[in-house]
Structure 1
């Protein structure tokens, strides 16, 4: 089949790779001059299947109120009258029940665990390099109350067969020696040894090169305007450089996918939730994290990427703004310096923001739409890097008429109309 993918982030590029390997003729269109220049550019670097959890969880509404008054808050809500934002918040709040949390987390872990396996296979097949490490994720808790509240997550990990370790303070320091100087600030941790890390931008650009060698055509510097339909099919896409026809189209535009689908009267509940990161050169390797450390108190991840530390986190509801307030950088700096003081040169920190495409239930949208040749691979939120390979393989199987290796019926956009 002749397939056009809209979007060249990590999800779009992995989709192109797996579809090309399945024998299809693939074209990728993106408005940027190269791949992975938006949300995939400087994310936290985690490939964390075990940490795949929806933001919508029991207790979150009360926590959110408290967070809004914290100096280094993980949640920022800018005042808005945007109907899309208000509706999305309402939908998310309806998912903050124990029953919905368990369903949504199980879906996310299913996709993420499969994706990690797909990434491992891809790495073996291609020897792709991206500052990868396979040394797990450690979530650290600063209060006993936080530590005592991990039961619901552990239950889902058990049910999904995901390996985990519950560590006391000394166990955390043994896993991450850089925490030795801040050991008194933590009470314990949850370690997920099967998790990985890596530079998403490096991975995506390298995979795009491999995809080109496999026959994928990339069209950059090209804005995507609107779809042109014929009956229940998308006949073509109007771009800033003309009309592009194809037999199949894949929407992988992240936070911008809903704007495309509005032209088709398809309501996709994906909203841009802004995240921030800093990238800091390591000046004292003994003090730096070995892999990824999650600071539960601030919802911030600190990841070792080669000779750098990537510090990422926060959730800001501010529409499509990509501004860089100094206050947000201060929160990232505070978290990493509080736990790994002196490991990096903060004077050389590179500050960045990106828009994560979040669904109200946390689960990505993968699969068919009511248009017979239009498919979606979007809505991965903070887990696009974690879920990219598995989502792409699932999508390739669906389009190719093959039975996917995991359950996919509850991943499509149709779940919102059920």
Structure 2
């Protein structure tokens, strides 16, 4: 069948790849001049199934108060007259219980691990390269209290059979030799050896080229004007772009945070809200002083990732609607974290500063699958895990749309869970 994918970020392009592989005629449209120009452009670079967790969890409301008072805190809220913001926050707080956290985590980890495995298969079959590394992720604890608090995370990792290593300070240096320069600042770490890293933008661009070679059509610079709904068949009859009407047999909503707007227009609202994240990309100044993989600075919730001859530093959860203002205070937080742990590793004066909008659901898992409009499917709400979950989400969606049962249980990932 003819499938129209709305959105050329990593989630949309991965869906196009697997839909094409399943034998469908696929077209992808995007308002930008190329793929991965928005949220997929400058993310932290982690592929971390072991850290696939909901933001909503027990203790988060109290932690949020602490974070809001920190100079380099990981959370920023810029209140605005936005009904959707306050409804989303209320629904997120309702998920901050032990029971809901466990349920949502159980929905996220299998998808994330499945996605990592699909990415490895894709890499082996296509030869795609994207500054990838398979050297694990190290969650770095600066205090003994943080190290002691890792017990709950370790229980979850054991529950899902995720390999891990609990390290003391010298053990952290063994994994990341450059940390020897700041050994006194480290209490210990939790390392997930199966995690990977890579440049999400580069991956998406190169996967789009592979898709083109296999017959997928990409049309850029197209601003959606309207979703055309046929009330007699309870389905979409097309997408209006300027004076053109683009028709397909099925449609995939993969517009990230902007999916919420268009799903509401289609009469199928989804509780997705943008949470802004920031990143710095620095050229490596001294390879011996730089990280070899990803380090999660637990104190500031900042990820520091080696991407070839660059270092990507990503973090911050800013709740401010669709505002894309680059606030220098957030740059200061990223520079502080990387400079404190990896002094002399990169040249901050030559860094590029970026922000993007993560499409977050209030409970954590993404929304994947059919809607009550017969030919409209959704693939959005991945939050900070779009890069981690993109290949798995695309494969699952392609199976659903092809009438095949997915390889994993996706019963809790549908739009129906929101009532």
TM-score normalized with structure 2 length = 0.98
Question: CA separation in 2, counterparts of 1:187 and 1:225?
Answer: 54
Total equivalences in the alignment: 417
Note if 1:190 corresponds to 2:190: yes
- Answering whether residue 155 of structure 2 is matched by residue 155 of structure 1, we say yes
Q: For 2:392 and 2:219, locate their aligned partners in 1 and report how far apart those are by CA, in whole Å.
A: 24
1:33 is matched with: 33
Per the alignment, residue 9 of structure 2 pairs with 9
Is the 1:222–1:241 contact (alpha carbons within 8 Å) kept by the matching residues of 2? no
Q: Which shifted more, 322-331 or 151-160? A: 151-160
**Alignment pair present for 1:395 and 2:370:** no
- Please state whether the residue corresponding to 1:342 is helix, strand or coil: coil
Residues 137 and 291 in structure 1, CA contact (< 8 A), matched pair in contact too: yes
SS in 2 for 1:387: helix
Q: How does 1:277-316 map to 2 (within 5 A)?
A: 277-316=279-318
- 1:107 is matched with 107
| Cα deviation code 1:22-42 (max 9, x no counterpart) | 100000010001000000001
Which of 329, 342, 345 is matched with 2:344 structurally? 342
Q: Is residue 207 of structure 1 aligned with residue 207 of structure 2?
A: yes
In 2, are the aligned partners of 1:299 and 1:313 still within 8 Å (CA)?
A: yes
Within the candidate set 234, 237, 261, 1:235 is matched to 237
- Tell me the secondary structure at the aligned position of residue 297 of structure 1: coil
Distance in 2 separating the partners of 1:147 and 1:224: 48
Q: Distance in 2 between matches of 1:118 and 1:165?
A: 24
**Pairwise CA distance, 1:241:** 5.0
Q: CA deviation digits over 1:174-207, x for unaligned, max 9?
A: 1101111111112111100000000000000000
RMSD: 0.8
Larger mean Cα displacement after TM superposition, 225-234 or 377-386? 225-234
SS at match of 1:91: helix
> Counterpart of 1:382?
384
Pick aligned residue for 1:330 from 325, 329, 332: 332
Distance across 1 between alignment mates of 2:161 and 2:361: 25
**Within 5 A, what are the aligned runs for 1:59-78?**
59-78=59-78
SS state of the match for residue 43, structure 2? coil
- Mind listing any 5+ residue stretches in structure 1 that lack a counterpart? none
Q: 2: CA distance between counterparts of 1:14 and 1:130? A: 14
Contact kept in structure 2, 1:30 and 1:221, CA below 8 Å:
yes
Q: Deviations over 1:150-196 (max 9, x none)?
A: 22221221111111111111111111011111111121111000000
1:265 is displaced (CA, Å) by 2.1
The residue number in structure 1 matching 2:258 is 256
Moved over 6 A (4+): none
Q: Structure 1 residue 226: deviation in Å?
A: 2.1
Partner-residue secondary structure (3-state), 1:224: coil
2: CA distance, partners of 1:391 / 1:316: 25
Alignment correspondent of 1:51: 51
Deviations 1:87-121, CA, capped at 9 Å, x for gaps: 10111111111111111112111110000000000
Q: 1:253-280, CA deviations, whole angstroms, 9 ceiling, x for partnerless residues?
A: 0000011011122220000000000000
